[in-house]
Structure 1
Amino acid sequence: MRYFIELSYFGKAYHGWQNQPDSISVQEVLEEKLTKVLRSRIDIVGAGRTDAGVHAKQMFAHFDVATPIDEDLMKYKLNSMLPKDIAIAEIFRVREDAHARFDATARSYEYHLVQEKDAFSKDFAWFLRHHLEVDKMNEAAAALLEYKNFKCFSKSRTDVHTYNCRIDRAEWKQEQDKLVFHITADRFLRNMVRAIVGTLVEIGQNKYPVSHIHEVIKSEDRGKAGTSVPAHGLYLTGIEYPDNIRIN
């Protein structure tokens, strides 16, 4: 029987979502607690990766068990055992062939940026003092929806078979004291969002014209794109699935 776990985590203490040989990951901690509760080895499959230091307001993973479980009791036990920076929102039964990664139809991220020094946001947002031309950044962000191949924003050493992604939303919004970049796509490449933000910020600083975004994407060269911005400002905020994967 297959179950989905919906969870969130604050990524500062972790070397990303995925298991690492010499560093602690969110996946490792969750597998350890599940194995302890169910008294048998449990491996989980996440909806995707997040890099070291990146946060998730919503992440999904799936795992298999031989017999039914009490979802509410399992949620309670896991939340009691997990560290304070990982929280389980829901556990629910899904179809036997449902897959946390491959069945996801869309993923959304936010990047949080502050331009006034704030002692309480140092782990939650990137502090950038420079003035930014947000209108130019949004004009450049809109151009992302015109393209499919985003090799220029991907880490060079990656095992993907295609660099194509369908971006459905890309825009900056002022939200109280933060400037927040919202982006939604069917899939993302490794380091893609942080490289996009770095490129847009350089345009916002008037280092390049808005047309620079087209040159970068067409080049398919990571060296042409902007610097990868700090991980602690990035949040995975939502993952969408077809309605029919859940068993009520």
Structure 2
Amino acid sequence: MRYFFEIAYNGTNYHGWQIQPEAISVQGVLEQTLSTFFRTDIKIIGAGRTDTGVHAKQIFAHTDIDAISNIEETKFKLNSFLPKDISVESIRQVNDTAHARFDATEREYQYFIALRKDPFQQELAYQIYQTPNVDLMNEAAKILLGYSDFQCFSRSNTDVKTYLCDITKAVWEIDQKGLRFTITANRFLRNMVRAIVGTLLDVGFGKTSLAELHEIIASKDRKNAGASAPAHGLYLTKVTYPNTIFIKN
């Protein structure tokens, strides 16, 4: 039977989601834990990849295993096996053809910026010491909604077949804790969100104009966009699927 495991993790101690040789990854730890728990070799397929140091409040992975008789008990026991910075949030049975990556219809990322020194956010938010023009950054964020090709924000030399993404939301918010950027799309390119954040910060600090942002996107050249914001401020916060893939218990 196929199950979706909903996972959350603090990515500080991991070299991203995907298994890498001689490096600790979230996928590697999960596969090892699941294999030990279920006493069989288990491989999982995730909804996507996060880079080294990036966090996830919600990501899904699927695998095929024997029927789980008590899901809540299984979830509790798995969490006792897993390290403290990875947790299983839910386990749901899905159709045998359901795919954690290809069936996802929407993904949401959030980026957090602290505007003052906060010892409790050192590894969980990007700290800056001046407040950028948030209204101007929101004007820049709206520009993203008018484009579909985001090669200028993609890591170079990737193996993707297309740079097309459908961004449906991009907005900055500010409160007493700092800045939060929320962006939603059907898919994201590698390093895309961090490159966008870095470029929009350039707009907020007056280094890049709105007209220049149009030119950057049209250029399709990563060298023209801003520097990538640090990984530790980025969170994958939501992955959406059609309800039809889930089996009601």
Structure 1 residue 240 displacement after superposition: 0.3
| In the alignment, structure 1 residue 164 sits paired with structure 2 residue 177 | no
Contact 1:103 1:241 in 2 (8 A): yes
Counterpart for residue 37 of structure 1:
37
The whole-number CA distance in structure 2 between the counterparts of 1:27 and 1:208 is 38
Contact 1:112 1:126 in 2 (8 A): yes
How much identity, in percent, do the aligned residues show? 54
Counterpart for residue 188 of structure 1:
188
Q: TM-score, normalised by structure 1?
A: 0.98
Q: TM-score, normalised by structure 2?
A: 0.97
Task: Identify the range of structure 1 (203-212 vs 97-106) with the bigger mean alpha-carbon deviation.
Answer: 203-212
Counterpart for residue 56 of structure 1:
56
Counterpart for residue 174 of structure 1:
174
- Alignment RMSD (CA, Å): 0.9
Structure 1 residue 24 displacement after superposition: 0.2
Counterpart for residue 223 of structure 2:
223
The whole-number CA distance in structure 2 between the counterparts of 1:129 and 1:39 is 50
| In the alignment, structure 1 residue 234 sits paired with structure 2 residue 234 | yes
Q: Which runs of 4+ in 1 moved over 6 A?
A: none
Task: Report the 3-state secondary structure (helix = DSSP H, G, I; strand = E; otherwise coil) of the residue aligned with 2:41.
Answer: coil
Equivalent position amino acid for 1:172 in 2:
W
Structure 1 residue 22 displacement after superposition: 1.5
Structure 1 residue 58 displacement after superposition: 0.4
Contact 1:140 1:211 in 2 (8 A): no
Counterpart for residue 98 of structure 2:
98
The whole-number CA distance in structure 1 between the counterparts of 2:56 and 2:231 is 12
Counterpart for residue 11 of structure 2:
11
Structure 2: state its 5+ residue gaps: none
The whole-number CA distance in structure 1 between the counterparts of 2:234 and 2:175 is 15
The whole-number CA distance in structure 2 between the counterparts of 1:33 and 1:228 is 33
Structure 1 residue 8 displacement after superposition: 0.3
Structure 1 residue 218 displacement after superposition: 0.2
Q: Deviations over 1:188-232 (max 9, x none)?
A: 000000000000000100012122211110000000000011000
Structure 1 residue 176 displacement after superposition: 2.8
Task: Report the 3-state secondary structure (helix = DSSP H, G, I; strand = E; otherwise coil) of the residue aligned with 2:122.
Answer: coil
Question: What is the number of residues matched between the two proteins?
Answer: 248
Structure 1: state its 5+ residue gaps: none
Contact 1:132 1:201 in 2 (8 A): yes
